[in-house]
Chain A
């Protein structure tokens, strides 16, 4: 299809400016450009059609099944969008909270922040939550900065963070950006961390341990309580990466498992919009040890005895904890995303959230049961909300790789699962259906994968050439990585 620049017709305009009704003020000559900017010259209708056509080529959870492992691409209920469209929230200016008169107008938004933090604390078993971090990895970085602040305050000299080899790449990146060395702990053949290998890497320099549970193999870490005890004996803090919270929400709580700090991905577990522009939200939760260091300012409740006499009286105010690591995002984080998550949590309630994790785990295991006849699970048992397959036999026997199967799925109307992650599994394919899909959809997806497995034996070349029925065929990933050029001019 033509780029917007290629649709240019000289002199076409999409905007009509109002007539000038103030005296014209000439710009200084040195600020004027010599040549006109080479912008597309198109009409409003050209623009509308161009971007409508682009959007129709988009692939989203609103149009198709999207079982991208480790990403929890669940449906975003429109009820939460309706709440977020409420003008009382939508039109709030973030600077209102900094003016004395505006402060009163923010009380409703403050209540949403306060109550969302309390709900997330209850769900996770953490003492306090901050909504400031604006993405999952940002929540990780905040959590690691809190760990650093704690040890600094206690006078500990610790420079290392332990991370399993199955972790998301963002874990070591967050630890390294915060100035820590990273020590890797290997997974055992069953896909979990064994206490012996953990003991080997644990020492007095370890400031923290970052775990994902269930881990990125989709397996619950059976020794998590003992790992917590060992870490705490070494005065190291335990970090919970909330990427896979969807598997356990309402069933168990990271705080009860011994975790000291965690992040939530509201855009995963709490059904807010996700991916390719988000915006995301990665609130951080902490137990007693780290609560004094949380980012500020925080929304706190005012005792009814101390309420101001303003109209309306202020029930909430802003305060920064004494030992706070300070601001880690402008204003209050991605407030509108937290608002959607708040609506989602209230709409589902405790029973609904328990159903979320039950169905997420059921759906993943249903798919695994159907796929097992043709595909090999990467680990013998214990998958929770996602299952990991290894296509290493396809690769060695048929020269059909995970990428070929992924591309063939695109032709059949499904988003491909995650491939080549986790790195610990050869030719891995990681499928996370989430709780929002029906048995009908799961069956259609399983049928497609089984048909592809059959095709791999009959006509592997057909898979190497997939996709055939999309706007673009097989893309040259090497060229995209080495010669990326996103500019037209």
Chain B
């Protein structure tokens, strides 16, 4: 199940409002499609991103793929642990496996993202 308190993008990222910063990761569905993750590349802290920019990349045993910014903003922090232990994303996509945190985000873009139930219906169409 996808946690209720998160917002979701069509590219299968989740984003969580932590007050000052917004935490971004990939959904359980995305993890399942990728299979075992072997490498992760993360952006530089301080990078300004627009919505749907590719900001991180993932390599798995099946494919290489991008992580897109679900909203515009600035990268405030990255999850360094993923660089050495990408398998954390497979184990805990919604908690320990977060990718990066954004600040100064585009609020309207955040509000327009899908809720957990909307994301569930979106997945059914996939």
Q: In the bound complex, do residue A420 and residue B39 qualify as a contact, i.e. CB atoms below 8 Å apart? A: no
CB distance from B83 to the nearest CB of A (A): 12
CA distance A420 to B60 in the complex (A): 11
CB distance from A489 to the nearest CB of B (A): 25
Q: In the bound complex, do residue A481 and residue B63 qualify as a contact, i.e. CB atoms below 8 Å apart? A: no
CA distance A114 to B39 in the complex (A): 46
CB distance from B12 to the nearest CB of A (A): 13
Q: Tell me which of A169, A426, A482 contacts B33 (CB under 8 A).
A: A426
The residue on A at minimum CB distance from B33 is A426
Most A Cβ at <10 Å: residue of B36, B59, B62, B63: B62
Q: In the bound complex, do residue B36 and residue A477 qualify as a contact, i.e. CB atoms below 8 Å apart? A: yes
Interface presence of B108 (CB below 8 A): no
Q: Tell me which of B33, B61, B63 contacts A478 (CB under 8 A).
A: B61
Q: Tell me which of A169, A421, A426, A478 contacts B36 (CB under 8 A).
A: A478
Q: Which residues of B contact A300 (CB under 8 A)?
A: none
CB distance from B60 to the nearest CB of A (A): 9
The residue on B at minimum CB distance from A401 is B35
The residue on A at minimum CB distance from B63 is A423
Q: In the bound complex, do residue B33 and residue A481 qualify as a contact, i.e. CB atoms below 8 Å apart? A: no
CB distance from B59 to the nearest CB of A (A): 7
CB distance from A395 to the nearest CB of B (A): 9
The residue on B at minimum CB distance from A482 is B38
Q: Which residues of A contact B59 (CB under 8 A)?
A: 481
The residue on A at minimum CB distance from B32 is A395
The residue on A at minimum CB distance from B59 is A481
Q: Which residues of A contact B63 (CB under 8 A)?
A: 420-421, 423
Q: Tell me which of A169, A420, A421, A478 contacts B38 (CB under 8 A).
A: A478
Within 8 A of A (CB), among B8-53: 33, 36, 38-39
Q: Which residues of A contact B61 (CB under 8 A)?
A: 477-478, 481
Q: In the bound complex, do residue A481 and residue B62 qualify as a contact, i.e. CB atoms below 8 Å apart? A: no
Most A Cβ at <10 Å: residue of B39, B59, B61: B61
The residue on A at minimum CB distance from B84 is A482
> What string of 1s and 0s marks CB contacts (under 8 Å) between A379-419 and chain B?
00000000000000000000000000000000000000000
CA distance A169 to B59 in the complex (A): 13
CA distance A477 to B63 in the complex (A): 12
Q: Which residues of B contact A481 (CB under 8 A)?
A: 38-39, 59, 61
> What string of 1s and 0s marks CB contacts (under 8 Å) between B94-117 and chain A?
000000000000000000000000
Q: In the bound complex, do residue B62 and residue A482 qualify as a contact, i.e. CB atoms below 8 Å apart? A: no
CA distance A70 to B64 in the complex (A): 18
Q: Which residues of B contact A421 (CB under 8 A)?
A: 63
CA distance A423 to B33 in the complex (A): 10
The residue on B at minimum CB distance from A481 is B38
CA distance A169 to B64 in the complex (A): 10
> What string of 1s and 0s marks CB contacts (under 8 Å) between B55-85 and chain A?
0000101111000000000000000000000
CA distance A482 to B39 in the complex (A): 7
The residue on B at minimum CB distance from A395 is B32
The residue on B at minimum CB distance from A423 is B63
Q: Which residues of A contact B64 (CB under 8 A)?
A: 169
Q: In the bound complex, do residue B36 and residue A420 qualify as a contact, i.e. CB atoms below 8 Å apart? A: no
CA distance A267 to B105 in the complex (A): 51
CA distance A433 to B25 in the complex (A): 41
Q: Which residues of A contact B62 (CB under 8 A)?
A: 420
CB distance from A70 to the nearest CB of B (A): 14
CB distance from B41 to the nearest CB of A (A): 14
CA distance A380 to B78 in the complex (A): 43
CA distance A423 to B87 in the complex (A): 21
Q: Which residues of B contact A426 (CB under 8 A)?
A: 33
The residue on A at minimum CB distance from B126 is A426
Q: Which residues of A contact B38 (CB under 8 A)?
A: 478, 481-482
Q: Which residues of B contact A477 (CB under 8 A)?
A: 36, 61
CB distance from A177 to the nearest CB of B (A): 16
Q: Which residues of A contact B36 (CB under 8 A)?
A: 477-478
The residue on A at minimum CB distance from B37 is A478
Q: Which residues of B contact A169 (CB under 8 A)?
A: 64
Q: Which residues of A contact B87 (CB under 8 A)?
A: 478
CA distance A481 to B39 in the complex (A): 8
CA distance A87 to B59 in the complex (A): 47
Q: Which residues of B contact A482 (CB under 8 A)?
A: 38-39
Q: Which residues of A contact B33 (CB under 8 A)?
A: 426
CA distance A420 to B35 in the complex (A): 11
CB distance from B85 to the nearest CB of A (A): 10
CB distance from B122 to the nearest CB of A (A): 15
> What string of 1s and 0s marks CB contacts (under 8 Å) between A462-480 and chain B?
0000000000000001100
- Chain A residues packing against B (C-beta within 8 Å): 169, 420-421, 423, 426, 477-478, 481-482
Provide a sorted-by-A list of 7 A–B residue pairs whose CB atoms are within 8 angstroms.
Answer: A420-B63, A423-B63, A426-B33, A477-B61, A478-B36, A478-B61, A481-B61
Please provide the 10 A-B residue pairs with the shortest distance between their CB atoms, ordered closest to farther.
A481-B38, A420-B62, A477-B61, A478-B36, A482-B38, A423-B63, A478-B38, A478-B61, A420-B63, A481-B61
